[in-house]
Each structure stands twice: as structure tokens, then as C-alpha cells.
Amino acid sequence: MDHLFLLDAMLGSLARWLRIGGVDAEYRRDIIDEELIKEAQNTGRILLTRDVVLVQRAKKYSVDALLIPFIKDREILRLLIKVYGLELDAEKSRCPKCNGTLRSIQREDVKPRVPEVTWRNAFEFWECHLCGSVYWRGSHWENISSTISYAMQPRNP
């Protein structure tokens, strides 16, 4: 079964990376600890936070929680892969903005919604079913896929 995550306010960029890797990662800002714990409990999500007190409180409520160290996002991804056996795959990306799932849309339909130069250069487009954002593989794609493959590489012995 796939793991579901809930990230606290300090982990916004990690949430985006997890989503890009196809992992269901909700992210909450402006929410008190009790609500965060309750949401994790009600939705069966694993709580990720940099707050050691929050981890301790979550565990009291039998919520699975992991303390995230102050290391780079790509190293945190490696840690999560090791701990939870995640399989990151940028081909299965969710919406980095809102965690919605993406569906592919017809190139013709997207024409009025993206810059002309983008439309000419990209051949596949995806749309978030929740927020309606449109995605394509632009110049940033190489960086994205190299970060994901870095994270997925087994470490040298």
C-alpha cells in the first residue's frame, strides 16, 4: 500500500518534491499541532515535521511521525525512501502546488492557456484535476528528473 504523508509548515519544498515524485503529500500551514495530529489520525497519514515536540505528541496519539533533520531536500528524499521504501517516479507526478492528481489533456485544448512558445515546443500537457494548473516538460524537467533519480539511486557501499 502506498504511504500517505502530512507535512507541517516548515516542509513546503519537501512537499513539492514528494508530489513531483508521485507521492501523496499534503502540506498544512497555519494549523495548530492538535489539528495536524487529528488530521494525520483521521486520514492515516504519516506526519513529517522538524518539531521534536510534535513528533512526541503525535506518537502519544499513535500517529506515525518522523522527525526530519536539517539536511537538503534530496537527502531527505533518500531518507524517506530508506525508511518507507518509497518509489519516486516523476512520470507519476502529482500537482506540486496542491497535491491533486494530474491527467493528460489534449494539446489542442491547452493552446489558449499556455504561452505560444510553450505550446509550440511541448507536445504533452497535464492538468491538475483540483486546481486546474497546466503542466508540461519544460527546461526544468532535466533538473527534476535528475534530482529524483539521485534520490532513488542506491548509495555506494
Q: Which residues bind Zn ion (CB under 5 A)?
A: 95, 97-98, 100, 128, 130-131, 133
Q: Which residues contact 124 (CB under 8 A, 6 or more apart)?
A: 104, 107, 136, 137
Residue 116 exposed, middle or buried by CB count within 10 Å (0-12, 13-18, 19+): exposed
Residue number with CB closer to Zn ion (34 or 124): 124
- Provide, rounded to whole angstroms, the least separation between the CB of residue 70 and Zn ion: 28
* Cβ atoms 80, 143 nearer than 8 A: no
Residue number with CB closer to Zn ion (5 or 65): 5
Residue number with CB closer to Zn ion (81 or 130): 130
Residue 89 exposed, middle or buried by CB count within 10 Å (0-12, 13-18, 19+): middle
- Provide, rounded to whole angstroms, the least separation between the CB of residue 132 and Zn ion: 7
Q: What is the DSSP letter of 70?
A: S
Residue number with CB closer to Zn ion (25 or 128): 128
- Provide, rounded to whole angstroms, the least separation between the CB of residue 72 and Zn ion: 25
- Provide, rounded to whole angstroms, the least separation between the CB of residue 103 and Zn ion: 11
